[in-house]
């Protein structure tokens, strides 16, 4: 039987970013590529917040000011985004720390701006 449930486009987009994060975690992927995947995840999230989260926040403002109702509640979507991003950020940090250790074993050290 076919499901009629429609997945919110923002949540779907975060699911895509999760798949990129999975590539970064995959030990079968070359080390340098894994670092690149983390960079892609980070850039994707920057763009996501600049465009998509900003749009949802505008939808919340419109809904509060005009009483216009959207099919999907923007506040609920924003909450779901927040929970998903928190989970992904924890996973990102864990993967990054592991990759740093692997890089050090290869005598490659990442120096931060500080």
Cα(95)–Cα(84) distance, rounded to whole angstroms? 16
38 CB-near residues (< 8 Å, 6+ apart): 21, 24, 92, 95, 96, 99
Q: pTM for the whole thing?
A: 0.84
Distance CA 108, CA 104 (A): 5
Rounding to the nearest 10 degrees, give the CA dihedral for residues 96, 99, 104, 109: -50
Across the chain, which has 114 residues, the per-10-residue mean pLDDT values are: 68 94 97 96 96 92 79 88 97 96 91 80
Structure tokens at 35: 């670092």
């Amino acid at each position: 039987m076919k499901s009629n449930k429609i997945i919110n486009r923002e949540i779907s987009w975060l699911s895509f970013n999760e798949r990129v994060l999975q590539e970064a975690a995959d030990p079968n992927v070359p080390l340098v590529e894994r670092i690149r995947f983390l960079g892609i995840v980070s850039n994707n999230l920057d763009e996501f917040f600049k465009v998509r989260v900003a749009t949802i926040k505008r939808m919340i403002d419109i809904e509060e000011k005009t009483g216009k109702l959207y099919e999907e509640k923007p506040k609920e979507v924003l909450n779901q985004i927040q929970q998903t991003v928190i989970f992904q950020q924890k996973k990102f940090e864990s993967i990054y720390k592991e990759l740093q250790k692997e890089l050090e074993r290869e005598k490659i050290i990442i120096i931060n701006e500080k």
